[in-house]
A = this chain, B = another copy of it.
Amino acid sequence: MADRDPEPAFPRLRPASLRVNVADLLRSALLQRRFEPGEELADSALAKEFGVSRGPIREALIILAEEGVIEHLHYRGFRVPRLTANDILQINEARLPLEAQALRLARPRTTPKDISALHKLKDALLKAYTDSPEGRHMTAQPDYEFHSYVWQLSGNPWLVAGLKRICLGRFLCVSAKELGFAPQDFAAIEALHQQYIDYLSGELDISAEECVARHLQSYQESKRESA
Protein backbone atom coordinates (compact mmCIF):
# COMPACT_ATOMS: atom_id res chain seq x y z
CA MET A 1 0.00 0.00 0.00
CA ALA A 2 3.04 2.24 -0.33
CA ASP A 3 3.23 3.13 3.34
CA ARG A 4 6.21 5.38 3.89
CA ASP A 5 5.96 4.95 7.65
CA PRO A 6 9.02 3.29 9.21
CA GLU A 7 7.62 -0.25 8.98
CA PRO A 8 4.09 -1.15 10.03
CA ALA A 9 5.27 -3.80 12.56
CA PHE A 10 1.68 -4.93 13.02
CA PRO A 11 -1.31 -4.21 10.85
CA ARG A 12 -3.22 -1.53 12.67
CA LEU A 13 -6.24 -3.10 14.25
CA ARG A 14 -8.76 -0.38 14.50
CA PRO A 15 -11.51 -0.22 17.05
CA ALA A 16 -14.74 -0.21 15.14
CA SER A 17 -18.18 0.75 16.28
CA LEU A 18 -21.12 -1.43 15.39
CA ARG A 19 -22.29 0.98 12.70
CA VAL A 20 -18.91 0.77 10.92
CA ASN A 21 -18.94 -3.02 11.09
CA VAL A 22 -22.45 -3.20 9.73
CA ALA A 23 -21.68 -0.65 7.01
CA ASP A 24 -18.59 -2.63 5.97
CA LEU A 25 -20.54 -5.87 5.77
CA LEU A 26 -23.39 -4.30 3.83
CA ARG A 27 -21.03 -2.55 1.42
CA SER A 28 -19.26 -5.80 0.78
CA ALA A 29 -22.60 -7.56 0.26
CA LEU A 30 -23.63 -4.87 -2.21
CA LEU A 31 -20.36 -5.26 -4.14
CA GLN A 32 -21.12 -8.97 -4.35
CA ARG A 33 -24.59 -8.17 -5.70
CA ARG A 34 -26.32 -9.91 -2.84
CA PHE A 35 -28.96 -7.18 -3.21
CA GLU A 36 -30.64 -6.32 -6.49
CA PRO A 37 -31.01 -2.75 -7.80
CA GLY A 38 -34.30 -1.37 -6.55
CA GLU A 39 -34.34 -3.65 -3.53
CA GLU A 40 -35.36 -2.07 -0.25
CA LEU A 41 -33.28 -2.25 2.90
CA ALA A 42 -35.62 -2.16 5.90
CA ASP A 43 -33.85 -1.31 9.11
CA SER A 44 -36.02 -3.51 11.33
CA ALA A 45 -35.39 -6.55 9.14
CA LEU A 46 -31.65 -5.89 9.03
CA ALA A 47 -31.61 -5.37 12.81
CA LYS A 48 -32.94 -8.90 13.22
CA GLU A 49 -30.48 -10.36 10.70
CA PHE A 50 -27.46 -8.72 12.31
CA GLY A 51 -28.73 -9.32 15.81
CA VAL A 52 -28.35 -5.70 16.88
CA SER A 53 -30.82 -2.94 17.56
CA ARG A 54 -32.20 -0.51 15.00
CA GLY A 55 -29.96 2.39 16.06
CA PRO A 56 -26.60 1.19 14.68
CA ILE A 57 -28.33 -0.24 11.59
CA ARG A 58 -29.85 3.13 10.77
CA GLU A 59 -26.46 4.78 11.30
CA ALA A 60 -24.83 2.26 8.97
CA LEU A 61 -27.45 2.89 6.29
CA ILE A 62 -26.88 6.64 6.62
CA ILE A 63 -23.14 6.08 6.09
CA LEU A 64 -23.80 4.08 2.93
CA ALA A 65 -26.27 6.69 1.69
CA GLU A 66 -23.65 9.42 2.19
CA GLU A 67 -21.18 7.29 0.26
CA GLY A 68 -23.66 7.22 -2.61
CA VAL A 69 -23.98 3.44 -2.42
CA ILE A 70 -27.66 3.42 -1.52
CA GLU A 71 -30.32 6.08 -1.71
CA HIS A 72 -32.79 7.32 0.84
CA LEU A 73 -36.25 8.81 0.56
CA HIS A 74 -38.03 10.42 3.48
CA TYR A 75 -40.51 8.07 5.10
CA ARG A 76 -39.83 5.61 2.33
CA GLY A 77 -36.59 4.08 3.51
CA PHE A 78 -33.33 3.00 1.93
CA ARG A 79 -32.94 1.17 -1.35
CA VAL A 80 -30.33 0.04 -3.85
CA PRO A 81 -30.31 2.59 -6.69
CA ARG A 82 -30.90 1.78 -10.34
CA LEU A 83 -28.16 3.42 -12.36
CA THR A 84 -28.93 4.32 -15.95
CA ALA A 85 -26.49 4.33 -18.85
CA ASN A 86 -26.41 8.10 -18.61
CA ASP A 87 -25.50 7.90 -14.92
CA ILE A 88 -22.46 5.81 -15.83
CA LEU A 89 -21.43 8.32 -18.49
CA GLN A 90 -21.59 11.13 -15.95
CA ILE A 91 -19.68 9.12 -13.38
CA ASN A 92 -16.94 8.46 -15.92
CA GLU A 93 -16.92 12.14 -16.81
CA ALA A 94 -16.06 12.97 -13.21
CA ARG A 95 -13.82 9.96 -12.69
CA LEU A 96 -11.55 10.53 -15.67
CA PRO A 97 -9.65 13.65 -14.57
CA LEU A 98 -9.49 12.56 -10.93
CA GLU A 99 -8.21 9.04 -11.54
CA ALA A 100 -5.70 10.49 -13.99
CA GLN A 101 -4.42 12.76 -11.24
CA ALA A 102 -4.21 9.75 -8.91
CA LEU A 103 -2.07 7.93 -11.49
CA ARG A 104 0.24 10.93 -11.94
CA LEU A 105 0.79 11.28 -8.20
CA ALA A 106 1.11 7.53 -7.70
CA ARG A 107 3.78 6.93 -10.37
CA PRO A 108 6.82 8.29 -8.48
CA ARG A 109 5.60 6.65 -5.26
CA THR A 110 5.16 3.16 -6.70
CA THR A 111 7.60 0.52 -5.41
CA PRO A 112 8.34 -2.96 -6.82
CA LYS A 113 6.33 -4.30 -3.90
CA ASP A 114 3.33 -2.31 -5.09
CA ILE A 115 3.74 -3.66 -8.63
CA SER A 116 3.60 -7.23 -7.44
CA ALA A 117 0.62 -6.43 -5.22
CA LEU A 118 -1.18 -4.97 -8.24
CA HIS A 119 -0.37 -8.07 -10.27
CA LYS A 120 -1.98 -10.19 -7.58
CA LEU A 121 -5.08 -7.99 -7.54
CA LYS A 122 -5.28 -8.17 -11.32
CA ASP A 123 -5.04 -11.96 -11.22
CA ALA A 124 -7.77 -12.10 -8.58
CA LEU A 125 -9.95 -9.99 -10.85
CA LEU A 126 -9.35 -12.26 -13.85
CA LYS A 127 -10.01 -15.34 -11.74
CA ALA A 128 -13.31 -13.87 -10.55
CA TYR A 129 -14.19 -13.17 -14.19
CA THR A 130 -13.62 -16.74 -15.37
CA ASP A 131 -15.08 -18.35 -12.24
CA SER A 132 -18.33 -16.40 -12.49
CA PRO A 133 -21.43 -18.29 -13.55
CA GLU A 134 -22.52 -17.94 -17.18
CA GLY A 135 -22.72 -14.37 -18.33
CA ARG A 136 -22.96 -12.41 -15.10
CA HIS A 137 -19.36 -11.52 -14.40
CA MET A 138 -18.94 -10.93 -10.67
CA THR A 139 -15.95 -8.63 -10.95
CA ALA A 140 -17.21 -5.64 -8.98
CA GLN A 141 -15.37 -6.36 -5.74
CA PRO A 142 -11.94 -7.34 -7.15
CA ASP A 143 -12.18 -4.54 -9.72
CA TYR A 144 -12.87 -2.06 -6.93
CA GLU A 145 -9.98 -3.43 -4.89
CA PHE A 146 -7.57 -3.02 -7.81
CA HIS A 147 -8.54 0.58 -8.44
CA SER A 148 -8.73 1.38 -4.75
CA TYR A 149 -5.12 0.26 -4.40
CA VAL A 150 -4.07 2.55 -7.22
CA TRP A 151 -5.96 5.46 -5.68
CA GLN A 152 -4.26 4.94 -2.33
CA LEU A 153 -0.87 4.87 -4.02
CA SER A 154 -1.39 8.58 -4.69
CA GLY A 155 -0.80 9.15 -0.98
CA ASN A 156 -3.58 11.75 -1.00
CA PRO A 157 -6.50 10.82 1.28
CA TRP A 158 -8.78 13.53 -0.12
CA LEU A 159 -8.21 12.28 -3.64
CA VAL A 160 -9.09 8.79 -2.45
CA ALA A 161 -12.21 10.02 -0.69
CA GLY A 162 -13.32 11.95 -3.76
CA LEU A 163 -12.82 9.01 -6.09
CA LYS A 164 -14.61 6.73 -3.67
CA ARG A 165 -17.55 9.11 -3.49
CA ILE A 166 -17.75 9.32 -7.27
CA CYS A 167 -17.13 5.70 -8.24
CA LEU A 168 -18.35 3.42 -5.47
CA GLY A 169 -21.94 3.45 -6.63
CA ARG A 170 -20.82 2.51 -10.12
CA PHE A 171 -18.84 -0.50 -9.00
CA LEU A 172 -22.06 -1.96 -7.64
CA CYS A 173 -23.45 -2.13 -11.18
CA VAL A 174 -20.39 -3.01 -13.19
CA SER A 175 -21.23 -6.67 -13.45
CA ALA A 176 -24.81 -5.93 -14.40
CA LYS A 177 -25.44 -7.42 -17.80
CA GLU A 178 -28.70 -5.51 -18.10
CA LEU A 179 -26.66 -2.31 -18.37
CA GLY A 180 -24.22 -3.85 -20.83
CA PHE A 181 -21.13 -2.75 -18.97
CA ALA A 182 -19.26 -6.01 -18.79
CA PRO A 183 -16.13 -5.77 -20.93
CA GLN A 184 -16.27 -8.00 -23.96
CA ASP A 185 -13.67 -10.56 -23.11
CA PHE A 186 -10.94 -11.78 -20.85
CA ALA A 187 -8.10 -10.39 -22.94
CA ALA A 188 -9.51 -6.88 -22.93
CA ILE A 189 -9.80 -6.77 -19.13
CA GLU A 190 -6.31 -8.16 -18.81
CA ALA A 191 -4.84 -5.54 -21.13
CA LEU A 192 -6.69 -2.61 -19.61
CA HIS A 193 -5.47 -3.37 -16.11
CA GLN A 194 -1.96 -4.29 -17.22
CA GLN A 195 -1.86 -0.86 -18.82
CA TYR A 196 -2.30 0.76 -15.41
CA ILE A 197 0.52 -1.35 -13.97
CA ASP A 198 2.78 -0.45 -16.89
CA TYR A 199 2.04 3.22 -16.47
CA LEU A 200 2.88 3.09 -12.76
CA SER A 201 6.08 1.11 -13.27
CA GLY A 202 7.21 3.72 -15.80
CA GLU A 203 7.24 1.31 -18.74
CA LEU A 204 4.33 2.84 -20.59
CA ASP A 205 4.90 6.33 -21.90
CA ILE A 206 1.45 7.81 -22.41
CA SER A 207 -0.36 10.48 -20.42
CA ALA A 208 -2.29 9.50 -17.34
CA GLU A 209 -5.43 10.90 -18.97
CA GLU A 210 -4.95 8.68 -22.00
CA CYS A 211 -4.46 5.69 -19.72
CA VAL A 212 -7.71 6.23 -17.83
CA ALA A 213 -9.62 7.26 -20.95
CA ARG A 214 -8.81 3.95 -22.63
CA HIS A 215 -9.85 2.06 -19.53
CA LEU A 216 -13.21 3.80 -19.27
CA GLN A 217 -13.85 3.85 -23.00
CA SER A 218 -14.13 0.10 -23.20
CA TYR A 219 -17.14 0.22 -20.89
CA GLN A 220 -18.61 3.10 -22.83
CA GLU A 221 -18.39 1.11 -26.06
CA SER A 222 -19.99 -2.02 -24.72
CA LYS A 223 -22.79 0.24 -23.52
CA ARG A 224 -23.37 1.67 -26.99
CA GLU A 225 -23.66 -1.84 -28.42
CA SER A 226 -26.43 -2.81 -26.04
CA ALA A 227 -28.32 0.42 -26.72
Contacts and interface: CB of A to CB of B under 8 A. Distances in A.
A112 interface: no
A135 interface: no
B157 A90 contact: yes
A63 B62 CA distance: 7
A42 interface: no
Nearest to A64: B66
Q: Which 8 A-B pairs have the closest CB atoms?
A: A66-B66, A94-B159, A97-B97, A162-B166, A165-B165, A15-B74, A162-B162, A97-B101
Q: State which size class the interface on A falls in.
A: 35 or more
Per assembly, the copies of the chain total 2
Nearest to A209: B97
* Interface-centre pick from A19, A63, A87, A166 (highest chain B CB count, 10 A): A166
A37 to B, nearest CB: 17
A98 B105 contact: no
22 contacts: A15-B74, A15-B75, A16-B74, A17-B74, A55-B55, A87-B158, A90-B156, A90-B157, A93-B156, A93-B158, A94-B98, A94-B101, A94-B158, A94-B162, A96-B101, A97-B98, A98-B162, A158-B166, A158-B169, A162-B162, A162-B166, A165-B165
